[in-house]
Structures are given as C-alpha cells and as structure tokens.
Amino acid sequence: MALKKGDKIPSFKAIDTLGNEFDSSTVVGKTPVVFYFYPKDDTAGCTAQACSFRDQYQDFKDLGAEVIGISSDSVTSHTKFSNKYKLPFLLLSDSSRKLNKLFGVPSALFGLLPGRVTYIADKNGIIQIIFDSMMPTSHISNALKVLKKLV
C-alpha cells in the first residue's frame, strides 16, 4: 500500500553513502525532510536531479530541512556518484527495493525502471506532498515551494 499525503513516514533503516546504518528516526519527526527516490546513479536525468539538489542544498538547510536520496544502487555506486558530484546529502542504498515497497514508489517505463518520486514531510514526519514525475529537476523547485509554506 503506497504512502499518501497525511501519512507519517514509517521507521526504516538502510545503509548510507558512507557505509553506515541510517535510521530514519534520526530525522523523521525532528526536522522537515525530503526523501527523493530516483532510478539510477550516474545517468543523465538522475545526475541532473542530484546536482540540482546539491546546488540548492543550502536553500533546504536554510529552511531547516534535510535531503536524502534513495535508489537501488549499491553503497559502492552511491559513494562514487556522491564523490564525483560532491553531493552534500546522504544517499541510501535500497538494493532489495524494500524502501521502494515501503513507500509504494511506482515503477516507470512499463515497469522497467524504479520510479522518480519525492516525498516532503514536515518536522512531525507527516507527508505534505508527494511529487511523482520523471522530469528530474522539477522535483527541487516543488520541494522548496512546499517547504517555504511549512516554515
């Protein structure tokens, strides 16, 4: 069952870019958070999206929000991708697609690719908007717009 607006972000754990276990309870319910699911490291659209989040990361931090990217790529792939593009936020590895299922991220391109979906939650962990679009850079402006209304 897919998460929807008004739902609380569920608790989960995953391995981050640094190989550490990330526990969602360290941010969910404490600060506004943007979880963005994307198909694949180092592809044109996903790189554009990650670099747009990177370039506007300070805007997110100024609003008190955290940005976290999630894809089914390995920790090694995430580390290379993050280092190559100097990403200042965490990427979580969802190689088992357990987080995709937990959030209810739909597949794209006739089920061939994991979807590109952004979840914006307020400081209480309640989802304020879910933005589902294969247009990679549109996620950033939409997330910032929602966050500005929250603060």
Provide the residue type at 37 as one letter: F
Which candidate in 9, 14, 46, 90 is catalytic? 46
Least Cα distance to 92 among 82, 105, 109, 78 occurs for: 78
d(CA 117, CA 63): 21
3-class secondary structure per residue, 13-31:
EEEECCCCEEEHHHCCCCC
46 is catalytic: yes
CB-based contact 124:29 (threshold 8 Å): yes
Which sign does the torsion angle of CA 47, 9, 30, 149 carry? positive
Take residue 147 and report the two structure tokens written for it: 């966050």
Rounded Cα gap, residues 16 and 22, in angstroms: 6
Active site residues: 46
